[in-house]
Chains A and B, each alone.
Chain A
C-alpha cells in the first residue's frame, strides 16, 4: 500500500467493462447470422430466455445464498399473466406487444411479494424446504383453476396481435428473427440491470447476509427484509423471462410451474457457476444443450446430467465458470504448460470410462424401455447388441479398465494441480510483499 490513500470515486464505466459489455452486445447481435437454420434460431431464443431465468435464479443462490426449489413458480406465473395479456391485446387492449415481457415481470414481482412474504420467513435449509412446498402448492393449485390456467391443455395465444408505432414499421413478431432480437434486447438490458444491482448497497448487503447473517443482523440490518427484497427483485426478472417464453411459444401450460423446471434452473445455474456473474449464462447454454440436443441422442440424458452434477458438486463446487477462471489463472502464472499431459491423460481415460458407462446404460435402456425396437444399438458408432452377452462383457470390461485408468490419472492430475496451486499462492504472496 502507498502511504497516501487516494479518495475513492464512483466510476461505473471503466475500460474493462466497456469492452466486456460491448462484446456481449456484439455476440447477441451477430449470433443469428451464424445460425443458418430455423432450428438454430429457435435454440438461440431458448438459450436467451434460459439465460435470463438462470441469472435471476443466481440472484438468489449466488448473491444471497438462498437455495430455492421453486423458481419456476415465478417464471411460470409470469408466463401465464403474459399470455392472458396477449389475449387481451388480441381482443382490442391498447398495449404494444413488445411490452409483454414487462407485464410478465410485474406479475413475477407481484407473486414474489405475495409468496416471498411466506418463504422468506426462514433462511438457509428451511427456506429451501418451504420454497419446495410453495412450488408444489402453486402447481397443484394451477390444476385446480382451469379458468385461469387452462387445465391440462394450457392456454394459447397469438403474438402478432395489437397495435403501436413499431407495428407500422413492420415489427409484427411474426418471423422468429424478430422474436430473437426482442429477447436479445431484453436480455442485454436486464443483464445490465442485474449487474448494476449487484453493485448497489442492497446487492452488497445481500452478500453479507449470505456470508454471515448473524453479523449482518448485528450491524443493524433486518436479514429477513433483505431476503424478501431480493426474492422480489429476482422474481421480477424471472417474470420477464416468463413473459418472453409466452411470446416465444405463444402458449402456456401448467408444466411451466412444475418442480422439475425449478430443479432444472437450480441444476444448470449451479453447473454454470454461482460465483461469477456470467456463470449462469454458461449454465443456460448447457441447459438448452441438454434439453434439446442431448435428449435427442439418448433417452438416459437425465442420468448423465445427474451424475455430472454430483461430480461437479463434490470436485468443482464453483461450476464451469470457476474451472475456466482457475485455468486462466494458470495461464497467467505460466503454470498451464505443466498441466497439458495430466489433462490429456485424464481426458483420454475419461473418454474410455465414459464409453463403457454409456454402453452399459444404453443397453440397459434398450432392454428396459425400448425393447420393442429390437436389441441392436450403437454407442459412439460402435455396434452393440443388448441381447448378446459378449456386448455386455465388452462394455463392463471397458468400464472397469477405463475407470481404474481414470482414477490413476485423476490422482496424478490432482498432485500436479495442487503443486501448481501452491506455487501460484507463493507467487501472489511475493507480489503483495513487493508492493508493500
Chain B
C-alpha cells in the first residue's frame, strides 16, 4: 500500500512533467508540421537559465523569467532560421532543429561546463508534505504537480476561450482561410513556436532541480517525449496527456519492482536454471527493464494501433 501510493504520486508527477514537455512539441507539430528535434534542448536551456537567474536573484524570479527568455530565443530561431527552411519541406525543417540541438548542447557546455550545476530546490519548498508509514512525499513534487495542472488549465483556457486561441485553432486546420480572413498566420506560427519553447522551459525550471541539471538531460528525455507524441497519436494533446501519465506511472512502478520471469515461472512450478534456453531474458528484473519500457510501449503500439491512442491520421 505504501509502495503503491508513493509510486503512484511520484509517477503522476513525472508523467505530468513529461506532458508539459510533449504538449509544446505536439502543439508545434500539429500546427506547423514541424517536429522540433531541439524541444528537449529548450527544456535543458530552461533549467540552466533558471539556475543562472536564481543564482543572481531567487527561484521565484527564475520561475517567471527563464520561460520568457527561452520563448524569446525560440521565437528568434523561428524567425531567423526555421522560416527560411520552410520552402525546402519538412525534412529540412527537421534537420535544422536537429542541428540546433547540437549547437545548444555545445553552447551549454561552453557556458556552464560539462559537470552538473548546483541547481537546488528553494528552501521554502524543501521537506516532506506528508509521511505515509516510513515513506515521505516531498513538498516539491506536489508543487510540480500544481504547476503542471496550472499550465494544463491555462493552456486549455487559452486555446478554447480566448480570441487568440480561436485563431490558433483555425490556423491549425485551415491556414489559408485564416490568412484570407486577415490574420497574420506566420506570426501565429512564431507565437506558437515561442509558446511551445516556453512550455518546455517551464518544465525545465521545475524539473531541473527535482532531477539533475546537466548537459545530458536533454538527451535523457528527448527520445521519451517523441515516444509520448507517437503513442498518444500525432498532434493530439489529450492523447499526449494519457501517454505521458502511462509512461510516467509505468516507469516509476517498474523501477521499484524486482520481479522477474524466473519468479513468475517458479510460482507456476517451472524451474529455470542458467542452462535453460533464453536465460538472460528470464533473469532480467523489471527494475532493470524500466529504461526501455517506453520504447517497448512504442513498438507494441505501432504493431497494434499505428495511429496512436487518440490519433486520427493513419499514415
Contact = CB atoms under 8 A, between A and B. Distances in A.
B280 interface: yes
Interface stretch (A115-123, A279-287, A321-329): A115-123
Interface in A174-205: none
B284 interface: yes
B226 to A, nearest CB: 4
Contacts of B105: 302
Given A133-B295, A144-B288, A259-B219, A313 B302 contact: no
Interface string A127-148: 0111011111100110011011
Contacts of B289: 144
A361 B110 contact: yes
Contacts of B227: 129, 133
A365 interface: yes
Nearest to A143: B291
Interface string B63-85: 00000000000000000010011
B139 interface: no
A300 B92 contact: no
B194 interface: no
A124 B90 contact: yes
Contact of A137 (B92, B112, B284, B296): B296
Interface in B23-65: 29, 33, 35
A266 interface: yes
A137 B234 CA distance: 20
A55 B303 CA distance: 29
A124 B219 contact: no
Nearest to A266: B98
Of A61, A122, A129, A309, most B-chain CB atoms within 10 Å? A129
Contacts of B103: 303, 306-307, 310
Interface in B134-158: none
B113 A317 contact: no
B234 A126 contact: yes
A132 B226 contact: yes
A65 B91 contact: yes
Interface residues of A, number: 46
Interface in B209-261: 219, 222-223, 226-227, 229-230, 234
B172 to A, nearest CB: 16
Contacts of B92: 313, 317
Interface residues of B, number: 50
A41 interface: no
Contact of B298 (A133, A300, A310, A364): A133
Interface string A252-296: 000000010001001100100000000000000000000000000
B107 interface: yes
Contacts, number: 129
Interface string B278-294: 00100010001101101
A73 to B, nearest CB: 12
B91 A67 contact: yes
A122 B105 CA distance: 29
B99 A122 contact: no
Contact of A369 (B85, B114, B315): B114
B114 A270 contact: no
Contacts of B272: none
Contacts of B303: 118, 121
A164 to B, nearest CB: 33
Of A310, A365, A369, most B-chain CB atoms within 10 Å? A310
A125 interface: yes
B219 A140 contact: no
A368 interface: yes
Contacts of B219: 259
B2 interface: no
A203 to B, nearest CB: 19
A303 B302 contact: no
A67 B94 contact: yes
A340 B272 CA distance: 75
Contact of A310 (B81, B112, B114): B81
A369 B113 contact: yes
A305 interface: yes
B110 A129 contact: no
A314 interface: yes
A306 B96 contact: no
B4 interface: no
Contacts of A121: 302-303, 306
A309 B100 CA distance: 9
Interface in B163-193: none
A211 to B, nearest CB: 11
A140 B295 CA distance: 10
Given A259-B223, A303-B103, 13 more contacts: A67-B95, A118-B303, A130-B298, A132-B223, A133-B294, A141-B292, A144-B292, A266-B95, A270-B95, A302-B102, A310-B103, A313-B95, A368-B109
Please provide the 7 A-B residue pairs with the shortest distance between their CB atoms, ordered closest to farther. Answer: A306-B102, A137-B295, A303-B106, A310-B99, A129-B226, A306-B103, A309-B99
Interface of A: 61, 65, 67, 118, 121-126, 128-130, 132-137, 140-141, 144-145, 147-148, 259, 263, 266-267, 270, 300, 302-303, 305-307, 309-310, 313-314, 317, 361, 364-365, 368-369
18 contacts: A121-B302, A121-B303, A122-B302, A125-B94, A129-B229, A130-B230, A133-B227, A133-B294, A133-B299, A134-B298, A136-B295, A137-B292, A137-B299, A259-B219, A300-B106, A306-B106, A368-B110, A368-B113
